[in-house]
Chains A and B, each alone.
Chain A
């Protein structure tokens, strides 16, 4: 006998896969806009090296980028609000949001475990501590992007909001830094998904997974079933 387990609710899966191209379009159009005044650098690394702009044909498309950005912002925000609302109403947030300070210690253990520097991973629920922190942080970042975006979109009408971000230039920096954060998140996320394997990835599409395979947690399903 084997067990099929519903891992991801259908609504969550849709929100996730709808968000993926929307966030991509927001980042892409954002870079088209950023090209017109690309001032940020870390040390001697420039965002972005000239070859990035030329290879991807990003140059001289400010108007194009602004139009896309201010069209797709609506869909991005609506999808985000629906996702957060749904996790709250369904109770799914309880599995996603860190519930105690121990989460941060456990998240560190998860990282060490993933880097093969520590043996056993800490006991976890549906999401491990590192996932809880990541998936909660990404929502906080999303809220930050929307607010800092509004602050640079309407600095006269929403002057109070712009002030909260340390002014017009501060808001633009926050908006950009968060975007770089998404790119970092994306890289780590994709690597983790690849390492977790097909059964895990498929469950984000079909919802179900075979749960007698050893999950990333290292728990045998037989063990976890005892508690259910």
Chain B
């Protein structure tokens, strides 16, 4: 007999008893399951915190990163727009850029795990082929605007300034001159063709509030990774720290 049409015909008293038995049993099972689910939720939300996220959740975020990072390719591009679609980008964070920029003392320090740091000038970056792009800038808060950037591809920068003979490391760390703000990036996202070391916005040199003289424009990441006023670039095989990841956000923050 098909399970769906199962019926039991019984005298009224026995129906009552049978129902009571099944009700008792299944509400008990349901209660135990609910208690288990609540216990599981308490564990997932109450476990010891790693960078302000309970570690079971951190593990899943890292798993999500592996999935996204292995799928990401250079052909996955944020859509491009035309210049007349560019919108106003509000300055949304001044950590590390809240002091006036002293361009005479600004320099870009580049290092790897095993090499001495070299100091580069803005002209060194400008000597690379210039790329312009009009792409969506997505803030982790949920808003987004179409922004116009000009600068050097980070991939070109790396090919030129990573010391010869050094195998491309897994990560790159970037920080403001005083390391008040810092981001960690996986190398695949950093080497993505839309990742720029930008020195121009809307065809003009970057304004201070937008990260003069050099910032990261990385449309495949949320705004929090688009670090302003870069003073330090470190190629490394150790997963770097990240300002907002330490405040409980996803380290990868990839789009």
Contact = CB atoms under 8 A, between A and B. Distances in A.
Interface of A: 1-6, 9, 17, 21, 25, 33-34, 36-37, 39, 62-64, 66-68, 70-71, 74, 90-92, 153-157, 159, 162-163, 167-169, 172, 202, 205-208, 210-211, 228
Nearest to B23: A206
Interface residues of B, number: 56
Contacts of A68: 45, 57
A67 B61 contact: yes
Interface string B14-28: 010011001101110
B143 A37 contact: yes
A205 B77 contact: no
B204 interface: no
B89 interface: no
B88 interface: no
B9 A169 contact: no
Contacts of A208: 19, 22
B90 interface: no
A62 B140 contact: yes
B26 A206 contact: yes
B237 interface: no
The 3 closest A-B pairs by CB, nearest first: A37-B142, A63-B248, A36-B141
A156 B219 contact: yes
A17 B53 CA distance: 28
Contacts of B26: 205-207
Nearest to B59: A71
The DSSP consensus for interface residues of chain A is: helix
B69 to A, nearest CB: 10
Given A3-B8, A63-B249, A206-B19, 15 more contacts: A1-B11, A2-B15, A3-B10, A25-B41, A36-B140, A66-B250, A70-B250, A154-B254, A154-B255, A156-B78, A156-B220, A156-B255, A157-B76, A206-B25, A207-B26
A192 B8 CA distance: 27
Contact of A71 (B5, B7, B60, B219): B60
B154 to A, nearest CB: 15
11 contacts: A6-B4, A6-B6, A63-B53, A63-B249, A66-B250, A74-B60, A153-B255, A157-B254, A159-B77, A162-B79, A168-B144
B55 to A, nearest CB: 11
Interface string B60-73: 11001000100110
B23 to A, nearest CB: 6
Contact of A21 (B37, B52, B68, B249): B37
Given A6-B7, A67-B53, A210 B76 contact: no
A67 B57 contact: yes
Contacts of B18: 4
Contacts of B255: 153-157
B12 A1 contact: yes
A172 B142 contact: yes
Given A206-B22, A206-B26, A3 B7 contact: yes
Given A4-B18, A156-B219, A169 B144 contact: yes
Contacts of B30: 17, 205
Given A36-B141, A62-B141, A168-B144, A4 B19 contact: yes
